[in-house]
Chain A
Amino acid sequence: MRKITIEPITRVEGHGKVTIKLDDNNQVVQSRLHIVEFRGFERFVQGRPFWEAPVLVQRLCGICPVSHQLCASKAMDVIVGTSSGELTATADKMRRLMHYGQFFQSHVLHFFHLASPDLLFGVNSDPLKRNIIGVIGAFPEIAKKAVLMRKFGQVVIHLTAGKKIHGTGAIPGGVNKRLTPEERDQLLVGTPEFNVDLMVDWIQEGLELFKGYHKKNHEFIDGFAAFSSNYLSLVRKDGALDLYHGVLRAVDSDGAKIFDQVDYQNYSDYITEEVRSWTYMKFPHIISLGSEKGWYRVGPLARLNTCDFIPTPLAQKEFEQYKAYTQGKPNGMSMHMHWARLIEALHAIEMIRELLKDPDIIHGELVKTGERSGEGVGVLEAPRGTLFHHYRVDQNDQITLCNLIVSTTSNNEAMNRGVTWVAQKVINGHKEIPEGMLNQVEVAIRAYDPCLSCATHAVGQMPLELVLQDLDGNQLDRRIKNVGDFDGAGT
C-alpha cells in the first residue's frame, strides 16, 4: 500500500497534514486530514477569573477573535444570572453590531482575497497572476472596494470593541460601551467613499460577480466536492437566519428536521464529541444518529440549509434565488459555500445599517445581572460555523471547566470527505502525484475556511507539501507549494 502525505504548513493556528493511502492498484482506500489543534487552551483557562474569559479566549484564534469574545461572553451572561436573550437592548444591539462587523469583514476577506482570483481570471489562468496581487493589478476597482469593505467591518469592530483586534467590548452581562453619535455617523454617513449604503451596494456587486461566474462554470461550481450531509446551526425561534442568538436546529440531507428549538444550554444532550486515535481533533456528531451517520456540517452552507428565511429584504431576495436553484432542498455543493457566504455578508451589512439607525446603540443601560450560576453555555454562529463555549465556575469565581467546540472541528468530517472526493477523482489509477492535485486539495479544504488556513490568509494561498510513498515509506514523488507559487493548472 502506498501513502501520500500532503502537509499544509501553517505558522500560527496549527499544523495540518493530509495522508492518502493507495492500494497496490493505485486506488485510494482512505484519506485523512490531520489537524493538530492547540487543545491546551482549555486547560490554560482553568483557574482564571470568569470575567477574564472573553478577553482571554479571543487569543485562541487570530482571525475570528470577536466570535470567541462574544461566545464566551454569552456563556458568562448565564454565569452572572442572565441570558443573552435577556440583556438590555443596548447590550444586545452593540454586541450584534460587533458580530455583524466581524462577519462582514471575514466573509469579504474570504471571498475577495481567496476566491475572487479564480473567478476573475479563471481557474486555468496564469498562476502568477491568479492571486490577490494580480487582482489589484488587473481589477483595481474591485480590489479597492474589497479593501474598503473589509476596512468598514474593521471600523465597526473598532468602535464597538474599542480596538480592531482583541478589544474588550463584550463583558459578562452586557457591554462596556455605547456608540457616540459621532462614532455612529462615521459609519452611517461616512464619506462619499466610505459609508454603509455603499457597502450594501458593493457586496451586491460581489454577488453578481459570483453568479456570473457560476453561469459559465456550472460543472465546476456544482460538481466539485459536492456531497450530502446533515446540517446544524442556530436559528431564531421563528426559523429566521440569526447569526448571533437563537435555538439549535439540525436538518438532514432532505431537509427533514433532526431536532429543532433546542435550548443550547442543553447542547450536550444532542451533540457529543468523539476522539479518534489518529488526530487530536475531535469528531462531534449528533447523538441520536450515532457516530457513523451523525456527522454534520456547519457554516454558511449549513445555515442557509437550516433557516427558513432571512429577515432582511435584500438578502432574502438572494436567498430565494439560491433556494430555488436546489428546489428548496438542502444544498450540499461545497463550492456553493461562496454563494452562501456572500448572501450572509449582504445580510450582515443590512443588519449593520439597521442597527446604526437604532437609538438604542446611543442610549441605554449596558449591563444586567441576576443570580449567580455555576455553569454556562454560549453558542453563536461564527463566520465559519456554530461555535460552542461551555464553562463551569466555582464559588470563588474561578473557571473549573472549559469546553470549546469550534466550527473547524465540526467541519472536520466534511473536510475529510472533501479531501477523499478529490483523492478519488484525481489520484485513482495514478502512480505519481498528478498535476493540480495540490490546488484541488487546497480548494476542497479551503471552501470551509478552516482555521488552519488563517495564517496564510494574507496572500490567499495555503502552503502544501505532498509526498507519495510506497509501502515501505520510501518517497516516490513529492510536490511542494509554498506561498507565492502555484502548482500548475488545477482548480
Chain B
Amino acid sequence: MEQGQISLTIDGKECVAKEGQSIVQAARENGLFIPTLCDFRSLSPAGTCRVCTVKVGGRFVPGCTSPAVNGMVVENETAELTDLRRALVEMLIVEGNHMCPSCEKSGNCELQELAHHYRIVVPRYPFLFPVQKVEARMAHLFIEHKRCIQCLRCVRGVRAKDGHEIFGFMRRGSDVRITVDVTDPEAVSEATAKKAMEICPVGALIQKRVGFRVPIGQRRFDRKHEKDGKQL
C-alpha cells in the first residue's frame, strides 16, 4: 500500500482509500454506492439527512461525516440498512409536500431519485401536508419551502460575489426553515439563483422563469437511467 493509503472492507469487499476520506468518499472511489442527500461535492459534510447511514462495529454512523479508518469493517447494503434508508427517505417525503408531476425539479431531483431507487410507492408514514408559503419576492429566485429537506447545502455552499453568506436558517430539527434577506434586491443575482438551484438537491430553490426548459429524456436522472439501461 502506498503512503497515505488505508484499506477497509465494505460489505466484505476489500477497498483502498486515502487517509482522511469519509466512508462515503471511500465507497465512491471503489465503485460502491452509498446514498447521500445533504452531502455535496466539495462542501464540508453536515450530516443532516442520515440517508448515508452505515454500520461499523455494530453501530450506526453517518457515512459522510465518519472518516474511513484502516482495517474498518463497514456494512452497507444490508436488508436492515436498506429499510432504514428507505424509512428516512419516506419521512422526508411525508414531511414536505412533494407533487413531482408538476415540480420543475422532477428528473433532476435527488430525493425523487432516491425514492425511485428504493421503489417507494406509498410511504409508510402519514402525509403531514405542511402549509408553507412560497417566497416569491426576489427577482430571480423562488423558494418553495414545502419541498425543502433541510440539508443546508444552500447555507454551506452559496455565497454572494463579495463572499458574504446569503442563506441562513431559523428554528431547529425538522422545523428548520431556510431564510434569505429579501429586502436587498441585489443579494440574489441571476447567477446566484442559478447556483442555488444547482446546489439544492430538491425543488426548493428555483431559478425563476427557466422551469421545464430541459425536455424529458435529457434531464439529469433521465440520462443516468438511459445509461444504466444501456449497460444492462
Contacts and interface: CB of A to CB of B under 8 A. Distances in A.
Interface of A: 47, 49, 51-52, 54-56, 59, 80, 161-163, 166-169, 171-172, 176-177, 367, 396-398
B125 interface: no
A54 B212 CA distance: 10
6 contacts: A51-B211, A168-B215, A176-B213, A177-B215, A397-B136, A397-B209
B215 A52 contact: no
Interface in B196-232: 206, 208-218
A51 B136 CA distance: 13
Contact of B211 (A52, A367, A396, A398): A52
B interface residue count range (under 10 / 10 to 19 / 20 to 34 / 35 or more)? 10 to 19
Contacts of B128: none
Nearest to A165: B101
Nearest to B214: A176
A46 to B, nearest CB: 11
Contacts of B212: 51, 54-55, 168, 171, 176
Interface string B131-145: 000101100001000
Interface string B73-108: 000000000000000000000000000011010000
Contact of B215 (A49, A169, A396): A169
Nearest to A369: B209
B85 to A, nearest CB: 29
Contacts of B137: 396
Nearest to B217: A162
Contacts of A169: 215
Contacts of B211: 49, 51-52, 171
Contact of B102 (A56, A80, A172, A398): A56
Contacts of B134: 47, 398
B215 A398 contact: no
Given A396-B137, A397-B209, A59 B216 contact: no
A47 B133 CA distance: 9
Contact of A59 (B101, B142, B215): B101
A50 to B, nearest CB: 8
A48 B212 CA distance: 14
A167 B101 contact: no
B102 A397 contact: no
A284 to B, nearest CB: 27
B216 A168 contact: yes
B140 to A, nearest CB: 10
A420 to B, nearest CB: 40
Nearest to A162: B216
Contacts of B217: 162, 177
A166 B208 contact: no
Contact of A51 (B209, B214, B218): B209
Contacts of B213: 171, 176, 367
A163 to B, nearest CB: 5
A87 to B, nearest CB: 15
A55 B102 CA distance: 6
Nearest to A54: B212
Nearest to B206: A49
5 closest A-B pairs by beta carbon, nearest first, are A162-B216, A177-B215, A396-B136, A51-B211, A176-B215
Contacts of B214: 176
Contacts of A54: 212
Nearest to A172: B209
Nearest to B213: A176
A384 B218 CA distance: 33
Contact of A163 (B206, B208, B216): B216
Given A51-B212, A52-B104, 15 more contacts: A47-B134, A49-B136, A49-B142, A49-B206, A49-B211, A55-B102, A161-B216, A163-B216, A168-B216, A171-B211, A171-B212, A176-B215, A397-B136, A397-B142, A398-B136
Nearest to B222: A162
Contacts of A163: 216
A252 to B, nearest CB: 41
Contacts of A396: 136-137
Nearest to A173: B209
Contacts of A167: 216
Interface centre among B104, B215, B218 (most CB of A within 10 A): B215
A55 B208 CA distance: 15
Interface in B126-169: 134, 136-137, 142
User: Which of A166, A168, A396 has the most chain B CB within a 10 Å cutoff?
Assistant: A168
Contacts of A47: 134
Nearest to A47: B134
Contacts of A177: 215, 217-218
A52 B213 CA distance: 11
Nearest to A166: B101
Contacts of A398: 134, 136
A51 B104 CA distance: 9
A386 B110 CA distance: 40
B123 to A, nearest CB: 21
A190 to B, nearest CB: 20
With most chain B CB atoms within 10 A of its CB, the pick from A49, A163, A367 is: A49
A169 B217 CA distance: 11
A317 B213 CA distance: 40
A56 B208 CA distance: 16
Contacts of B136: 49, 396-398
Contacts of A162: 215-217
Most buried by B among A51, A167, A177: A51
Nearest to A176: B215
Interface string B8-45: 00000000000000000000000000000000000000
B213 to A, nearest CB: 5
A172 B101 CA distance: 18
A398 B206 CA distance: 13
B207 to A, nearest CB: 11
